[in-house]
Amino acid sequence: MKPKQDEQTFARLVREHKSTIYTVCYMFSKNEDEVNDLFQEVLVNLWKGLPGFKGDSDVRTWIYRVSLNTCISCDRKKRKRKSVPLSIDINPFTDSDEDSRQVQQLNRRISQLGPFDRAIILLWLENMSYEEIGQVVGISTKNVSVRLYRIKEKLKNSPAPDPVSDR
């Protein structure tokens, strides 16, 4: 591909899959600045990987895989660094209706899962088939089924994390 075609293809891919990339990034952080940093990191990796993408899999699968791998790598690096959390007394993004509270509780429980399980449940919540999930994360369809069952049980049976400690 010529450089101009590469730029156009990349811009189109980002436009078409922006929400997918943000969804993956959001599963690895609730901090808006951190999500935007992850998004930028994913874009860099997609740009670098675009010339090597041969189309052996669906482009959506490839984008999920790059996004997940980037976020998992950044998550590992973040855990190795020590950080001092800054706290504020208000959260302008907090909704008080029951649906929002349930979604927040689910997100808190999902964030307690390991990166691999978080990736699988995220893809399932995005209505991907077990086969597609397996292709993205590199496991068999049967293994996806078993892991999803265990993840769902873990989410059902785990105590809700304290929302105050999320800040």
pLDDT in tens, 51-61: 888 888 889 88
Architecture of the structural domain at 1-80: Orthogonal Bundle (1.10)
> According to CATH, where is 1.10.10.10 located in the chain?
95-167
Tell me the average pLDDT of the chain: 82
In the chain, ranges of CATH 1.10.1740.10 domains:
1-80
Task: Enter the CATH code of domain 95-167.
Answer: 1.10.10.10
How many percent of the chain have pLDDT more than 90? 33
d(CA 93, CA 47) in angstroms, rounded, equals 31
Tokens of 28: 């690895």
- Confidence (pLDDT) at 58: 87
End-to-end Cα separation, the chain, in angstroms: 46
Structure confidence by residue, pLDDT tens digits, 100-153: 777 778 888 888 888 889 889 988 988 889 999 999 888 999 999 999 999 999
pLDDT value, residue 95: 53
Please give the single-letter amino acid code of residue 80: K
pLDDT of residue 166: 47
Q: Is 99 helix (H, G, I), strand (E, B) or coil?
A: helix
C-alpha span between 167 and 127 (Å, rounded): 29
Residue 49 in this model has a pLDDT that exceeds 80: yes
What are 13-33's pLDDT values in tens digits?
999 999 889 888 988 887 889
What pTM, to 2 d.p., does this model score? 0.60
Stretch among 68-72, 107-111, 162-166 having the lowest mean pLDDT: 162-166
